[in-house]
Every structure is written in C-alpha cells, then in structure tokens.
C-alpha cells in the first residue's frame, strides 16, 4: 500500500472505525456490477476512488485502488493500493482511461474538488450515487428514523449537481432489486428484519453517524411493529414488488460508456 499525504478527512476516521467486516455485509450485487462494467467497458486502466474493499471493479482492467482508510484498503484484494483522498489524487493528468467512484462522493470533505480530480486524472468517469431530491423515500426514514433525512441531505449532492460537475453525458437509474446483495441501507427495503441486526447496521455509515441513542429506540419500534404485523399491514403493496427506484443513479462522463461522444 502506498501512502499519500492527502485524505485525512473525518470520513477516514469513520471508516477506520466501522470498516472492519465490510466485505461480509457489503457483497457486490451482480446487477449493479453489470451496469458499472458496461459503463467502463473498453477502459484498460481504471482508478477506483473511495475503493474500499474493491467492489465493482471491472475484471480484466488494470485497477488502482485509492482510499484514505487503511482499514478499508487492508480488505482490498488488489496489488495497486494508494492511501489518499479524492480531493488530492497523487497522479499526473490523464493517467487513467477511467475513474470510478461508487457510494463514496458523499463522504468527501470537498465533493467538487474531488470530482474535478476525477476529471483531471482520467479520460472518463463513472460515479454511482443517490439523489436526495428523489421520492419515494425508504419507509425507514418516514416511519422510524427521520434523522436519516437530515443527515443524508447534508452530505449527498443532487444528481444534477454531480452530473454538472462531471460534465456528464448519461445518467442511468438503478432500481434496487428486492434481493440486492450489497448491504447498504436501501438493500433491505423488502426485508425489514435485517435492520434489527447490529452487524448489518454496522456496515452502514448512516447508522454509525446517528449513534445508538437515536437508532436503538427506533429499532425497538420496528421490532414491535414486525412482531404485531403492523409493518406488514402498512407495506403489503411493497411486498409484491421486484424492485423500486429509490433514486440511485450511475452518472457517466467523458470518453467512456455508450453515450460518449
Ligand atoms: C460506502 S464505502 C464505499 C466503498 C466502495 N466504493 C464500495 O462500493 O463498496 C465509502 C468509502 O469512501 C471512502 N472515503 C471516505 N472519505 C474519502 C475521501 N475523502 N476520498 C476518497 N474516499 C473516501 C471510505 O473510506 C470508504 O471506503
């Protein structure tokens, strides 16, 4: 692992604290992997910024993983690993065919600067993120933890803003399948019992940032609603659905993807 002086943002400390065991709960989902792979097809060299444990990296490409968290990079199986933050990438202009950033931009201390860095070091960009302006919201927020709304709206930029910063040519919606394997918060929209598992909650920065004093009473209410059948009565309509668009988007820019000029 190579170290760079950049990237000691607070989110680094967060993932050094909560990142252990990430790979057990955050298993890459094959449907999201296919979407990202298509966007990156043709890229021979790829930098994965906020790489964590290396989910969604394209097979066959030469991938350089960048992350400011040592705990996360230690779980990354690759050989090219650089300890650094998105805000100051230790690479020359145009080093890579493509840059990817999956569920990480909301952790950056300076999102715009990080996105400018993606454009500087690579000829194409694929960024997977969530749109805070989207509705519907997950029932967990509306009914149990409205505190999530304040937290997430503070750290996620709108998709329009991110697309504009990248000069994107394509924005692809990704409805979340009911059996999505990558255990970030939204994965369990049809499997509410999962939220009661502290191991599942540990893999989500949202729960870590809210803290147990906020989360635990809400989980007790959810536990009671599941036991009484109240949750299932309220959400009978959701239980028959295969996927729901909760506002997750792949933003593609530059010289990659089917929309590249
Ligand atoms: C939710 S994880 C996503 C990891 C991986 N991309 C994935 O899809 O599984 C967010 C990652 O962003 C990293 N991160 C936090 N601050 C960062 C920064 N300033 N620059 C780059 N990555 C950062 C964290 O250390 C963590 O590994």
**DSSP assignment string, 25-44:** HBPPPHHHHHHHHHHHTT-S
Can you tell me which atom of ligand 1 is nearest the CA of 114? 20
Average pLDDT over residues 15-42: 89
Return the beta strands (E) in 104-202 as ranges. Answer: 122-130, 168-173, 176-177
Residue 7 confidence (pLDDT) above 50: no
- Determine contact, residues 117/89, Cβ cutoff 8 Å: yes
Average pLDDT over residues 15-25: 78
pLDDT of residue 11: 58
Residue nearest to atom 9 of ligand 1 (CA): 55
pLDDT of residue 58: 96
**Cβ count near 245 (within 10 Å):** 14
CA of 233 to the centre of ligand 1 (A): 37
Residue-wise pLDDT for 77-122, tens only, equals 999 999 999 999 999 999 999 999 999 999 999 999 999 999 999 9
Which of 42, 29, 10, 26 lies closest to 76, judged by CA? 26
Average pLDDT over residues 239-245: 97
Residue-wise pLDDT for 29-48, tens only, equals 999 999 999 999 999 999 99
Distance CA 181, CA 29 (A): 5
CA–chain centroid gap for 227, Å, is 31
**Cβ count near 257 (within 10 Å):** 24
- Determine contact, residues 95/122, Cβ cutoff 8 Å: yes
Domain boundaries, the chain: 2-254
Distance CA 261, CA 247 (A): 26
pLDDT of residue 224: 98
Residue-wise pLDDT for 119-157, tens only, equals 999 999 999 999 999 999 999 999 999 999 999 999 999
Question: Which CATH code for domain 2-254?
Answer: 3.40.50.150
With a Cβ cut-off of 6 Å, ligand 1 is lined by 7, 9, 11-12, 15, 26, 49-53, 55-56, 67-69, 72, 85-87, 102-104, 107-109
pLDDT of residue 5: 44
pLDDT of residue 93: 98
Average pLDDT over residues 226-251: 97
Please give the DSSP secondary-structure letter assigned to residue 182: B
CA–chain centroid gap for 129, Å, is 6
Q: Which of 13, 27, 104, 112 to mutate to test the pocket of ligand 1 (most atoms within 8 A of CB)?
A: 104
Average pLDDT over residues 162-187: 96
pLDDT of residue 184: 86
The angle at the Cα of 200, spanning 76 to 176, to the nearest 5 degrees, equals 85
Mean pLDDT of the chain: 93
């Amino acid at each position: 692992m190579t170290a760079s002086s950049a990237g000691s943002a607070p989110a680094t400390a967060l993932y050094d604290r909560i990142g252990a065991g990430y790979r057990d709960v955050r298993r890459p989902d094959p449907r999201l992997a296919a979407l990202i792979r298509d966007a990156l097809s043709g890229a021979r060299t790829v930098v994965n910024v906020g790489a964590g444990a290396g989910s969604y990296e394209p097979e066959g490409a030469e991938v350089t993983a960048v992350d400011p968290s040592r705990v996360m990079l230690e779980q990354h199986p690759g050989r090219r690993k650089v300890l650094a933050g998105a805000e100051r990438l230790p690479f020359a202009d145009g080093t890579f065919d493509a840059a990817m950033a999956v569920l990480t931009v909301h952790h950056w201390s300076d999102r715009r600067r990080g996105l400018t860095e993606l454009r500087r070091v690579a000829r194409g960009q694929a960024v997977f993120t969530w749109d805070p302006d989207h509705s519907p919201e997950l029932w967990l927020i509306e009914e149990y933890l409205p505190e999530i709304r304040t937290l997430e709206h503070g750290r996620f930029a709108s998709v329009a803003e991110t697309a504009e910063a990248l000069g994107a040519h394509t924005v692809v919606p990704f409805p979340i399948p009911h059996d999505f394997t990558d255990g970030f918060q939204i994965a369990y929209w049809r499997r509410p019992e999962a939220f009661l598992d502290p191991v599942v909650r540990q893999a989500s920065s949202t729960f870590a940032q809210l803290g147990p004093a906020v989360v635990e009473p809400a989980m007790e209410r959810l536990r009671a609603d599941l036991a009484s059948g109240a949750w299932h009565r309220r959400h009978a309509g959701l239980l028959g659905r295969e996927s729901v668009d909760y506002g997750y988007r792949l933003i593609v820019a530059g010289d990659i993807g089917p929309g590249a000029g």
